[in-house]
Amino acid sequence: MSTTSGKPSVADLSSTVAWQPWDAETFATAQQLDLPILLSINAVWCYWCHEMDDGTYSDPDVARFLNERFIPVRVDTDHRPDINARYNVGGWPTTSFLTPHGGYIAGATYLPADQFLAMLDEVSRAYSDRKPELYEQGNDIRRQRREHAARVAAGQEPDAGLVDAITRRVAGTYDPSNGGFGTAPKFPAAPMLRLLLHRYRTTREPFFRVMLEKSLDALVSGALHDHIDGGFFRFTMSADWTQPQHEKMAEDNISLANVLMDAGILLQRADYLRHAGTTVNYILNTLLHADGSTVRGSQGAHSDYFGEPAPVRAAIPAPAVDPHGYASLTAQAVSMLFSAAWKLGRPELTGVAGQTLDALVESAASDRLSHVYPPIGDVPPADGDLLVDWAWLLLAALDGHDAVPSASDRYRQAAEKAASVLYERFLDGQRGGFFDIEDTPDRAGYLQVREKPLAENVAAALGMMRLSHVTFEERYLHTAHHTLSAYAEANRDYGELAADYAVAIDRYVNPVVEVTVEAFPGAPDADAMLAAAMELDSPNLLIKLAAADNGTAPAQAHVCLDTVCYPPVSDPSALADAVAGGGMVTESPFQNVLDLLG
């Protein structure tokens, strides 16, 4: 066999798997040779991916069979979340068998060499004997994906009833024995924790506090928490938070740092704040690139290291960190660090966050933003930009606008540029919501179906709401409304994973209460005023933090309700009354000129 491209023939390499990239040329080769595609989706942090490489794909018989009967394609799930979203079969490693046009045939996760050879033979025979049937199956799945994407359409008005309905779904999955949600395997479930925090703050219902504290206590005290190096592992095999899988994901640790900070302040739990601090340190020391430009996606699992006590672990090399950074994760870390500067009393983190945000904004200056960030030569180019990166950049830029007054105009412009890109490349202006990928030519397989993932759409909607508040432009708020409305029915498909959508709805249907705390970061009165602000029960609470000129100035809170702002409050205990009373504005001593005019 040979190909018409400059690539080596797939049969030239018989002792090792001749992996090909996911691109139009590879699909053209598969169609020319009429061979099915084996798509391997792996990850650098995935223990069983490495096991399958070492024990299955390195088997000479497996490699020979693959190279002769298939076109082997490999992608990294973190590099190509768009492909993973369409072809993952329930975990990593994923092995999906496809027609030469990208239609799904069959799939599996980890398999040892003998079982894998049997599956290869079965799929190869099926493709030879039942090709029309398999193509029809692949096309049916493609049609189903199109129909599912079309269901995400604006219609029903988003209202508070959705918040209660989704909260009930989340509560229904709560594990009263062990804390957390669901059974084994047990994940940290940051979206559900965020919803519990939100509902407790806005309702003071004790039930929400019980669920929240039991879950967080289990997280920080159990085996999911790395008590030596800091940070949290990805999940535990058991419902009682034992048998951890030792990979650490940047997204989990960023989310849990945020949850622990807010819970520590709201529930007056110093231990949560302490664990939030060690998690921030883990991100800074291990995942943030040395030049501060990007946040790497993960740290791999290595039982010989994480299973040892501290004195022994110190003599063992730590597991490798993903060499690549990612734009969306970097933006999420920026937002978290801006918040941590105040909530943990560490003002130096504002500088760290600003430096990283500057690098991210500069990278996006050309209106292109590589998901693998910054772009690195050994990573195959994607088919275009991704919604997830621009949505989180929008939020990070808005956080920078609030946190760094000296750069507020520059960050506002960066936020407006991100919103412009979202409008031009991802917005479904007719049905509502944002597509996850651009409408680029020659998309292969199920990438021809542009989908609307809920999590990224919630991030985009929240960004549009905040940008409307900053710029007073109604079009941004209208876009947020259209986006949230599109999931009024479709959110049911996500079950309890629609938790962040519930928070977004609650914010949208309620007026903005903006509280700007002006104080010296870390000062006792600053902490007291910040805590008072975070205890306000407004569902749409926007807290902005402004550094005072010097450490002797007393902390003040400036309250704005919609577009009306009131005199500053210097007593934390009076802040709630000031908000409830419309700023406690007294009657004007000046006569109303309209009275004089009759």
pLDDT tens per residue, range 362-406: 999 999 999 998 767 678 778 899 999 999 999 999 999 999 999
Mind listing the pLDDT tens digit for each residue in 39-61? Answer: 999 999 999 999 999 999 999 99
Give the residue among 552, 548, 546 at the shortest CA–CA distance from 533: 546
Give the residue among 225, 205, 207, 217 at the shortest CA–CA distance from 180: 217
- Where in the chain are the domains? 24-151, 183-288+290-324, 514-580
Stretch 216-241: mean pLDDT = 97
Neighbours of 552 (CB within 10 A): 8
In this prediction, residue 587 carries a pLDDT of 39
Q: What whole-number distance in Å separates Cα of residue 162 and Cα of residue 140?
A: 32
In this prediction, residue 549 carries a pLDDT of 73
In this prediction, residue 1 carries a pLDDT of 41
Which CATH number is 514-580 given?
3.40.30
Q: What whole-number distance in Å separates Cα of residue 494 and Cα of residue 16?
A: 40
Residue pair 259/193 in contact by the 8 Å Cβ criterion: yes
Helices and strands, counts by H and E, the chain: 23, 12
Residue located via tokens 């805590």 = 531
Angle between helices 454-471 and 408-421 (to 10 degrees): 130
Burial 310-337 (b: 16+ CB within 10 A, else e): eeebeeeeebebbebbbbbbbbbbbbbb
Stretch 318-334: mean pLDDT = 96
Residue 552 has pLDDT above 50, yes or no: yes
Q: What whole-number distance in Å separates Cα of residue 227 and Cα of residue 313?
A: 12
Taken as a whole, the chain contains a residue count of: 598
H or E element: which one contains 516? strand 513-519
Q: Is 261 helix (H, G, I), strand (E, B) or coil?
A: helix
CA quadruple 235, 241, 246, 250: dihedral sign? positive
Mind listing the pLDDT tens digit for each residue in 298-315? Answer: 999 877 899 889 999 988
In this prediction, residue 522 carries a pLDDT of 78
In this prediction, residue 595 carries a pLDDT of 41
Q: What whole-number distance in Å separates Cα of residue 339 and Cα of residue 345?
A: 10
Q: Is 91 left (phi over 0), alpha (psi -120 to 50) or beta?
A: left
Q: Is 487 helix (H, G, I), strand (E, B) or coil?
A: coil
Q: Is 93 helix (H, G, I), strand (E, B) or coil?
A: coil
Name the phi and psi angles at 234, rounded to 5: -75, -45
Q: What whole-number distance in Å separates Cα of residue 339 and Cα of residue 344?
A: 8
What percent of the chain stands above pLDDT 70?
94
Residue pair 39/73 in contact by the 8 Å Cβ criterion: yes
Residue pair 331/360 in contact by the 8 Å Cβ criterion: yes
| DSSP states of 51-63 | HHIIIIITSHHHH
Residue pair 87/446 in contact by the 8 Å Cβ criterion: yes
In this prediction, residue 245 carries a pLDDT of 93
Residue 11 has pLDDT above 70, yes or no: no
User: In angstroms, what CA-CA distances link 450 with 75, 81, 82, 83, 418?
Assistant: 19, 13, 9, 11, 20
List the structure tokens of 28: 């053209």
Give the residue among 488, 552, 542 at the shortest CA–CA distance from 510: 542
In this prediction, residue 593 carries a pLDDT of 35
In this prediction, residue 546 carries a pLDDT of 86
Position 15 confidence tier, pLDDT thresholds 50, 70, 90: confident
Residues near 404 by beta carbon (within 8 Å), at least 6 away in sequence: 350, 354, 411
Side-chain half-sphere exposure of 88, counting CA atoms within 13 A: 16
In this prediction, residue 588 carries a pLDDT of 36
Give the residue among 401, 407, 413 at the shortest CA–CA distance from 365: 413
The 3 state secondary structure assigned to 277-319 is: HHHHHHHHHHHECCCCCCEECEECCCHHHHCCCHHHHCCCCCC
Stretch 152-170: mean pLDDT = 94
In this prediction, residue 14 carries a pLDDT of 57
Q: Which CATH number fits domain 183-288+290-324: 1.50.10.20, 3.30.590.10, 3.40.50.720, 1.10.3720.10?
A: 1.50.10.20
Question: Mean pLDDT over all residues of the chain?
Answer: 92
Stretch 224-246: mean pLDDT = 96
| DSSP states of 30-77 | HHHHT--EEEEEE-TT-HHHHHHIIIIITSHHHHHHHHHH-EEEEEET
Burial 78-109 (b: 16+ CB within 10 A, else e): bbbbbbbebbbbeebbbbbbbbbbbbbbbbbb
CA-based max dimension of the chain = 97
The reply to whether 514-580 shares the fold of 183-288+290-324 is no
Give the residue among 27, 20, 30, 38 at the shortest CA–CA distance from 123: 38
Residue 114 has pLDDT above 70, yes or no: yes
List the structure tokens of 433: 């919501």
Q: Is 380 helix (H, G, I), strand (E, B) or coil?
A: coil
Q: What whole-number distance in Å separates Cα of residue 404 and Cα of residue 387?
A: 26
Neighbours of 412 (CB within 10 A): 18
List the structure tokens of 402: 């609030």
Stretch 79-90: mean pLDDT = 97
Q: Is 284 left (phi over 0), alpha (psi -120 to 50) or beta?
A: alpha
List the structure tokens of 78: 């973190």
Position 551 confidence tier, pLDDT thresholds 50, 70, 90: low
Q: Is 233 helix (H, G, I), strand (E, B) or coil?
A: coil
Residue located via tokens 């096309």 = 139
Residue pair 240/178 in contact by the 8 Å Cβ criterion: yes
List the structure tokens of 261: 């900070």
CATH class of 24-151: alpha beta
